[in-house]
Amino acid sequence: MKKKRISLRIGVIIISSIMAMMLISFFYTPYSVTEMNKRERFSPPNSSHLLGTDNFGRDILSRLMKGSQTAFFVGGVAVSIGLIFGIAIGATAGYFGGVLDEFIMRIMDSMMAFPGILFALMFVSIFGVGIKNTIIAIGIMSIPSFARITRSGYMQHKEFEYVKNARVKGISTFRIIFAHILPNVMSPIIVAASMGFSSAVLSEAALSYLGLGVQPPDPSWGRMLNESQVYISMAPWYAIAPGIMITLIVLGFNFLGDGIRDMQDKGK
Amino acid sequence: MYIYLRKFTAMILTVLFVSVITFVSFEIIPGDPVLSRLGVDADEAQIKALTEELGLNDPLPVRFMKWAAGVFTGNLGESSRYSRPVIQLISERIPVTVSLALISMALIVVFGIPLGILSAKYGDRLPGISISVISQLGMAIPSFWTGIILMFVFGLILKWVSPGGYTSWDVNPAEAFKSLLLPSIAIALPSIATVTRYTRNSIMEQMKKDYVRLAYSKGLKTNSVLFGHVLRNALIPVITVLGMITANILGGSIVIEQVFTLPGVGRLLINAISTRDMPLAQGMILYISLVIVLVNFVIDIIYTLIDPRIKLK
Amino acid sequence: MSENILSIKNLNISFETQKGFFSAVKDISFEVRRNSITGIVGESGCGKSLTSLSVIGLLPENAVTEGRIKFMDEEILPYNEKVMRKIRGKEISMIFQEPMTALNPLWKVGRQIDENLKLHTVSDKKERFSRVLEIMNDVGLPDVVNLYHKYPHELSGGMRQRIVIAVAIACRPKLIIADEPTTALDVTIQAQILELLKEIKIRSGSSIIFISHDLGVVREICDEVCVMYSGYIVEKANTAAIFEKQYHPYTLGLIRSIPTVESKGKTLYVINGKVPSIYDDIPGCPFASRCEYAEKKCEVHLPELREISGNHYVRCAKAGEITWNRR
């Protein structure tokens, strides 16, 4: 039990610190994010630039802070897309069952077998690169896992007495699905959402690293890693900081998910 | 036999589904493929001729059939950028990617499963806890960052490998392996972590079963119970994850080939997309997905062979 | 050599959990005679399974055990894992409740019996094979050569339970612990398995600890009975005596709730209330809250287990004072 609490605590601490950093970045960053300074190119971490500067002499800390906005924005919107469609699809398949279920789950399974990055690449190659399409692609990618979890919850709960009672009372199917069953199957979905956030951030970083995700001047940690790689022998610090940020945020959401799940298990 | 037939049908349906999706997706691309080839100032006759040549006047289902026939005969048309058959371009790049995938898979199995066993055995003690902390980290670190760091440390600082270099197998196998090892490690790391955790949970799950108590009540040692009884039962579900792992490996190799500038399929795909070489991108995406579907099918079959409970049904 | 194969004295089993320390088995003492069947009866969670696991030394790791357990005149508590491994499967063996899950699904059933022999007695492979067939014959399995190579899922529940029993008797143990061995089975199969256990006792001279929640079944098979409630033994005697006269109201309740031919059509007797939670620390008699005869003193004072008549023990303050009205 002690160890489990630790998961939740670590998760909350990491995520809330990065969130605080993001909120601060709306009002204040040590330097301008876009301002270039030729004289201060590649200065290693020092008292005026805590994390050093990049190839344009921009302050890395400031760019990291702004980058957290992108990470949360992409993660948040993508997970919401996944949640909305995943729950709708999973609930339909699980509640109605039969051929419809078979058909939907076949499609979801094929989507799941697909490497996410491949799908995202296909998506941006068709609709073009940019933050909007990145988010949509990542969102679509995350639908199957939410659908799967929702479905199994509904398959279980539709057999329960309270659902049968509701049906006898003549409550509309729509209401039964969303007002009666949904709150009861939410707990694993919340855990999946937290984990989904991690994979969304990872996918965004990978796409942006490939130059097919977030485009300049929007700051993105993945993109920063891409730029840093060219200059790694001159400025290794540039490649360290964004990587740590990505790792931290992913770790944070994974721990958070684990922690929430353990809390739910304990409640039972 | 029935079960194999069912699985085979399911696989064929998935192949069909993936092909339709890939085909239709690329059909709805904004922009005219003819104009993009000829340039804006092409004359009427040229446009007509090329439209005819590319078969763009046919209705959609006919075009799909033609394209699908091409997929299975290896005729996917010509790359608009390289002006060479797509299939030729891809097959040149296959050795690198397949080598990466095999080395990564080997690393994943060789490290993931034993670490999972160790971590299950020493659950609450130091080795168990440290393995689970490291595996959490392993899942969180983006593979391309691992790649960058590995290349920096082993290529630029220690100079064990030449950064960005690739030697092909037929030139020097030892060098080839050396140039592929670091990228494979970067690809494998997150999956090693996943397999470790999965194996561990699966073992812990099995340890609660009644047959384990029976085994202990016979007077067996913990190790005999673990390796004699539990392990095989625990590894059956792990095999199913290997399908997902294959997808992860191919996905990872798309990115990692970019990090290490390896001339593989992934790098070709990124180039195709960046230069909007649609026939090439379409063909590659389809082939990569078909490989994944096939691997999953094979794993499914292996699964039924290992578990005697499924055979009879 | 004493006449008891097993004797347990003042056994306490408690657990250290995150929720705190609780004791699950309290001050249990009983003996198992050679070549006899001793029943332990009680509701789920009364501590009967834990008691039996303590005999074979397979309690969960966070269990703390106090008291004395003597098996064949040797003290086995505190456990020595090396010694216990030699005893387990050879001298003491166990039959589990769920034949569906008690066998390793990936091992042929013959091999699962064979493993026991290989571990403890016979080393020659051929000899073991014929021994396994013999044992399978003994437990009433048909077509044994063929059956040897079957997987558990290919057998019916009754057959699997026979395999589990075959595993248990493979090395001719002195003591077999049968933990609700018939609960998961159909009634007709249940009767067959009970017959088989009786036969084993007679044929091989083993003793059996028979754990059950069903007094009806216990009456069929046991020589002695211990009734457990909330971690305590509340009554123990030989089977005939306890069915003749019950001194503890809980035992009475259990017997009254057995459906019989006479009770057909009538409402079955139900003991009101719930078993107290293991986390509750009750100073008095644990049954007081459900007992229709309970007085003030029952709630504050835990009665001793006392001998009320020849070899008939009861843990009730009012036992003997009043006659319980039977039906």
Q: Which spans in B54-172 are helix H?
A: 60-73, 86-107, 113-121, 126-140, 143-150
- Average pLDDT value for chain B: 83
d(C-alpha C232, C-alpha A176), whole Å: 48
d(C-alpha A91, C-alpha A173), whole Å: 11
Half-sphere exposure of C115 (CA within 13 A, CB side): 26
Q: Do B218 and C89 touch (CB under 8 A)?
A: yes
d(C-alpha A254, C-alpha A196), whole Å: 9
pLDDT the model gives residue A72: 93
Q: Which chains touch C (3 or more CB pairs under 8 A)?
A: B
Contacts with A, B 84-123, CB within 8 Å = none
Q: B136 vs chain C: nearest CA distance in angstroms?
A: 25
Please determine, for residue B280, whether its predicted confidence score (pLDDT) is greater than 90: no
pLDDT the model gives residue B309: 77
Q: C30 vs chain B: nearest CA distance in angstroms?
A: 22
C104: nearest CB among B216, B229, B312: B229
- Mutation test of the interface with chain B: which of A10, A119, A124, A210, choosing the one with the most B Cβ atoms within 10 A? A210
Q: C169 vs chain B: nearest CA distance in angstroms?
A: 11
Q: A163 vs chain B: nearest CA distance in angstroms?
A: 31
Residues of B in contact with A251 (CB under 8 A): 136-137, 140
C98: nearest CB among B210, B217, B309: B210
Residues of B in contact with C103 (CB under 8 A): 211, 214
CB neighbour list of residue C190: distance below 8 Å, 6 or more residues apart: C182, C217
Contacts with B, A 120-139, CB within 8 Å = 121-122, 124-127
d(C-alpha B180, C-alpha B176), whole Å: 6
Q: B22 vs chain C: nearest CA distance in angstroms?
A: 41
Which pLDDT band, with edges at 50, 70 and 90, does B40 fall under?
A: low
pLDDT the model gives residue C265: 66
Q: Do B281 and A115 touch (CB under 8 A)?
A: no
B247 touches chain A (CB under 8 A): yes
What percentage of chain B exceeds 70 in pLDDT? 90
How, if at all, do strands C207-212 and C175-179 pair?
A: parallel
Taking a C-beta distance cutoff of 8 angstroms, is the pair A137, A119 a contact?
A: yes
d(C-alpha B66, C-alpha B36), whole Å: 22
C106: nearest CB among B217, B220, B308: B308
**What residues of chain B have any CB closer than 8 angstroms to a CB in chain C?**
209-211, 213-221, 228-229, 232-233, 307-309, 312
What would the pLDDT profile of B203-224 be if each residue is shown by its tens digit? 999 998 889 999 999 989 989 9
Average pLDDT over residues A183-194: 90
Assigned token pair, B266: 């992934």
d(C-alpha C84, C-alpha C77), whole Å: 10
B195 touches chain A (CB under 8 A): no
What would the pLDDT profile of B165-207 be if each residue is shown by its tens digit? 777 777 778 878 888 899 999 999 999 999 999 999 999 999 9
Assigned token pair, B142: 């983006």
pLDDT the model gives residue C323: 62
Residues of C in contact with B233 (CB under 8 A): 104-106
Q: B148: nearest CA in chain A? A: A229
**What is the helix (H) or strand (E) element at residue C225, kind and residue range?**
strand C224-229
pLDDT the model gives residue B284: 84
Taking a C-beta distance cutoff of 8 angstroms, is the pair B219, B157 a contact?
A: no
A99 touches chain B (CB under 8 A): no
- Mutation test of the interface with chain B: which of C16, C88, C100, C104, choosing the one with the most B Cβ atoms within 10 A? C104
pTM of the shown model? 0.84
**Residue closest to A78 by CA, chosen among A252, A177, A197:** A197
pLDDT the model gives residue A14: 92
C54 touches chain B (CB under 8 A): no
Looking at chain B, how many residues does it have?
313
Spans of chain C below 50 pLDDT: 327
What would the pLDDT profile of B58-89 be if each residue is shown by its tens digit? 777 887 888 788 777 777 777 777 778 888 88
d(C-alpha C113, C-alpha C133), whole Å: 9
The sheet with strand C4-17 has its strands ordered as: C20-33, C4-17, C63-71, C74-75
Please determine, for residue B313, whether its predicted confidence score (pLDDT) is greater than 70: no
Q: Which amino acid is at B152?
A: F
Please determine, for residue B296, whether its predicted confidence score (pLDDT) is greater than 60: yes
> b/e string for A56-70 if b means 16 or more Cβ within 10 A?
ebbbbbbbbbbbbbb
Number of neighbouring beta carbons within 10 Å of residue A13: 13
Q: Is C63 exposed, middle or buried (0-12, 13-18, 19+ CB in 10 A)?
A: middle
**Residue closest to C39 by CA, chosen among C273, C242, C297:** C242
B9 touches chain A (CB under 8 A): no
C119 touches chain B (CB under 8 A): yes
Residues of C in contact with B229 (CB under 8 A): 104, 107
Please determine, for residue A1, whether its predicted confidence score (pLDDT) is greater than 50: no
Contacts with A, B 10-69, CB within 8 Å = 10, 13-14, 17-18, 22, 25-26, 28-30
Q: C59: nearest CA in chain B? A: B213
Q: Which chains touch A (3 or more CB pairs under 8 A)?
A: B
ipTM: 0.86
Q: Which chains touch B (3 or more CB pairs under 8 A)?
A: A, C
What would the pLDDT profile of C168-207 be if each residue is shown by its tens digit? 988 889 999 999 888 878 888 888 889 999 988 888 889 9
Of residues C214 and B102, more confidence is placed in: B102
A205: nearest CB among B142, B151, B250: B142
Which sign does the torsion angle of CA B181, B186, B189, B190 carry? Answer: negative
Q: Do B149 and A212 touch (CB under 8 A)?
A: no
Residues of A in contact with B139 (CB under 8 A): 250, 254
C107 touches chain B (CB under 8 A): yes
Least confident of A21-25, B6-10, B31-35: B31-35
Strand partners, C175: C92, C207
Q: C52: nearest CA in chain B? A: B217
Q: Which amino acid is at C110?
A: G
Q: Which spans in A116-218 are helix H?
A: 116-127, 131-157, 161-168, 173-175, 182-209
Q: Is A46 exposed, middle or buried (0-12, 13-18, 19+ CB in 10 A)?
A: exposed
Q: Do B255 and A209 touch (CB under 8 A)?
A: yes
pLDDT the model gives residue B230: 93
Please determine, for residue B34, whether its predicted confidence score (pLDDT) is greater than 70: no
Please determine, for residue B162, whether its predicted confidence score (pLDDT) is greater than 80: no
Number of neighbouring beta carbons within 10 Å of residue C151: 18
Number of B/C CB contacts below 8 angstroms equals 69
